[in-house]
Amino acid sequence: MPKIESWDNLPAGVRRQLIDRIRDRSIGIADLNQLRLWIKTKPEVPETYKDFGSVEICGRGSYPKTFPLRGQVAKGEAL
């Protein structure tokens, strides 16, 4: 299983989406901290997503593809 990349190595669009979620206050500070700590451990990436309460991380491989909010469904075609 691949390991998640560090914050600095994530694509700019992925970082920007997470920052937008933070600015909108859509992500709770406790959930954001949990996500930060999880990424810092360089864990193996789950098959589809990981739930952090107010936000999920979705994608395959070392790079997340999107951060849907609770109840939001990630949709669209893979690029």
3-state DSSP of the chain: CCECCCHHHCCHHHHHHHHHHHHCCCCCHHHHHHHHHHHHCCCECCCCEEECCCEEEECCCCCCCECCECCCCCCCCCC
Domain that holds residue 43: 7-58
Q: What is the pLDDT of residues 40-52, one digit of tens each?
A: 888 887 666 778 7
- What does pTM read for this prediction? 0.65
- Tracing tokens 């990424």 back to the chain, one arrives at 39
Let me know if residue 69 belongs to a domain.
Answer: no
pLDDT at 59 over 70: yes
- CA 63/CA 10 separation, integer angstroms: 6
Token reading at 19: 């920052």
Let me know if residue 26 belongs to a domain.
Answer: yes
Let me know if residue 32 belongs to a domain.
Answer: yes
Q: What is the pLDDT of residues 7-51, one digit of tens each?
A: 788 888 888 887 887 777 777 788 888 888 888 888 887 666 778
Q: Domain total for the chain?
A: 1
What pLDDT is recorded for position 79? Answer: 35
What pLDDT is recorded for position 46? Answer: 67
Let me know if residue 38 belongs to a domain.
Answer: yes
Let me know if residue 74 belongs to a domain.
Answer: no
Let me know if residue 1 belongs to a domain.
Answer: no
Let me know if residue 36 belongs to a domain.
Answer: yes
Let me know if residue 72 belongs to a domain.
Answer: no
